[in-house]
């Protein structure tokens, strides 16, 4: 898997600027005193930087945006990148500034003049996040990114602040790789193997095979995968960083490695994107990797249900009735509403085995949430205001869009079945809400719980500030922040 670009933190050396090759990024702001690095570069380029920052084009830049001066005179660099960023910039603006460098970083390497900026670590994080590229399946000659150096007044302090952020970036990259991977590569076998490999980071990883799941009574989950050649699995990842014997917080992810819809088959157009239907499991895996890398002082368990939803002679049919691990029976009205069947059993198993202090599940669950919120926000559903508000605060702090959705008995009534305890769908209206109501039936009343519907945020067709188009890794940053703020004080 590609890892974030290594960034060297060095003391500011103005004498080295003239001979620096590749690209030089320097921070500036219109109408404000400029840094020593800016002034030195301006002298070397015979006033080119001052002229540029006084231009109308620079004045129109928003904080964190940049413009290039290509092949400026007086320096060896191919370009000087002027980034508009004031000294009182916030976290979001600083990360955006770093992302501007990461977006344009190439084989020649980049030097970032952060100097004494208070947000230098966030600049480094934004750079690393945006420099991500998924090119594992492209042939031909590939560009090898050059080195990255960030010059700061106190490089040791910046490096220390950046270290946990680097762990988050690696977790995000792990999630992006999983979500971007095609389904013929990321089978349930391969997915489980990648998670098992994280044992070398200190995670305890256990793989439950179909025989184990049958003994546990996970017939809702097994029913989804019974039409596939890839066997269904549940992978349990435990991080023991908190007090010994203290109950863990649980993260649960939907891991449908490919979703045809089953017998209720999807339209052909756009079905290729269903390689991302394991996005919830991918995010859980990325968070667990982050926690292990930064040695989080918390007990957290991540559980993912890995299945493939295929139509063949053994596939589950609309109208079938399955019994969940909890014991409730489910009439399967639509086999394309499969993710909730997977999560139902894993949620119940997590509570029965680990007695968690709380749970958050993630799933690319419904198209309805995209209709409601577009691609800007994940839908958040919860039975507990305290946990929900804490998550929303963490998501806001990390710049990951999230919006709380309603729940209630009227929605729950739509799941009534004539022949079983419930149906797996409740009609088109309020589809994301009835899906959440279905999941809540498998959450014990005293367990704080949030459901995150990431169908609109896991994979995008356009670039975002911190990611190229494709998998975003949404949720890794927010969940890591939640765990830090809530369990590591």
Give the whole-angstrom CA distance, residue 17 versus residue 117: 18
The structure tokens listed for 469 are: 């188009």
Catalytic residue among 340, 414, 481, 484: 340
Give the whole-angstrom CA distance, residue 55 versus residue 44: 19
Within 10 angstroms of residue 398's Cβ, the number of other Cβ atoms is: 21
Report DSSP letters for 95-113, one per residue: HHHHHHHHHH--TT-EEEE
| Strand pairing category for 233-240 and 299-309 | antiparallel
Within 10 angstroms of residue 234's Cβ, the number of other Cβ atoms is: 27
Query: Does 481 qualify as catalytic in the annotation?
Result: no
Catalytic residue among 266, 297, 323, 404: 266
C-alpha 384, offset from chain centre:
23
Give the whole-angstrom CA distance, residue 373 versus residue 77: 44
Which run of H or E residues covers position 234?
strand 233-240
Distances (CA, A) of 478 to 39, 378, 398, 402: 38, 12, 6, 10
Q: Are 177 and 1 in contact (CB under 8 A)?
A: yes
Catalytic residues: 266, 340
């Amino acid at each position: 898997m590609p890892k974030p670009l290594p960034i060297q933190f060095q003391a500011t050396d103005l004498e080295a600027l003239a001979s620096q090759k590749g690209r030089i990024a320097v921070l500036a702001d219109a109408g404000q005193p400029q840094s020593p690095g800016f002034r030195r570069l301006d002298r070397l380029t015979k006033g080119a930087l001052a002229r540029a920052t006084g231009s109308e084009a620079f004045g129109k830049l928003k904080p964190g945006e940049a413009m290039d001066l290509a092949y400026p005179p007086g320096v060896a660099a191919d370009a000087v990148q002027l980034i508009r960023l004031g000294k009182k910039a916030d976290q979001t603006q600083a990360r955006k500034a770093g992302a501007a460098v990461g977006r344009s970083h190439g084989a020649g390497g980049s030097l970032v003049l952060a100097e004494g900026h208070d947000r230098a670590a966030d600049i480094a994080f934004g750079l690393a996040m945006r420099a991500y590229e998924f090119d594992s399946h492209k042939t031909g000659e590939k560009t090898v990114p050059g080195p990255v150096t960030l010059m700061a007044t106190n490089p040791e302090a910046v490096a220390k602040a950046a270290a946990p952020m680097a762990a988050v970036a690696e977790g995000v990259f792990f999630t992006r790789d999983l979500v971007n991977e095609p389904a013929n590569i990321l089978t349930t076998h391969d997915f489980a193997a990648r998670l098992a490999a994280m044992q070398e980071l200190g995670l305890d990883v256990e793989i439950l095979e179909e025989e184990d799941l049958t003994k546990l009574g996970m017939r809702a989950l097994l029913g989804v995968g019974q039409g596939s050649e890839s066997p269904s699995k549940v992978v349990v990842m435990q991080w023991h960083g908190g007090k010994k014997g203290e109950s863990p917080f649980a993260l649960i992810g939907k891991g449908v490695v490919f979703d045809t819809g089953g017998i209720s088959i999807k339209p052909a157009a756009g079905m290729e994107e269903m390689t991302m239907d394991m996005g919830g499991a991918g995010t859980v895996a990325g968070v667990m990797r982050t926690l292990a890398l930064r040695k989080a002082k918390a007990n957290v368990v991540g559980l993912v249900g890995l299945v493939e939803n295929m139509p063949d002679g053994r596939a589950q049919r609309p109208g079938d009735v399955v019994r969940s691990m909890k014991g409730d029976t489910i009439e399967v009205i639509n086999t394309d509403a499969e993710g909730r069947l997977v999560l139902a059993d894993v949620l119940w198993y997590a509570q029965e085995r680990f007695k968690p202090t709380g749970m958050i599940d993630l799933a690319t669950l419904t198209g309805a949430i995209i209709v409601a919120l577009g691609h800007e926000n994940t839908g958040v559903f919860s039975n507990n205001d305290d946990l929900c508000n804490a998550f929303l605060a963490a998501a806001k702090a990390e710049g990951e869009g999230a919006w709380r959705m309603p729940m209630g008995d009227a929605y729950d009534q739509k799941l009534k079945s004539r022949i079983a305890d419930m149906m797996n769908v409740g009609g088109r209206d309020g589809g994301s809400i009835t899906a959440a109501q279905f999941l809540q039936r498998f959450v014990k009343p005293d367990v704080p719980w949030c459901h995150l519907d990431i169908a609109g945020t896991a994979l995008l067709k356009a670039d975002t500030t911190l990611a190229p188009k494709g998998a975003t890794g949404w949720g890794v940053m927010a969940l890591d922040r939640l765990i830090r703020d809530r369990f590591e004080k």
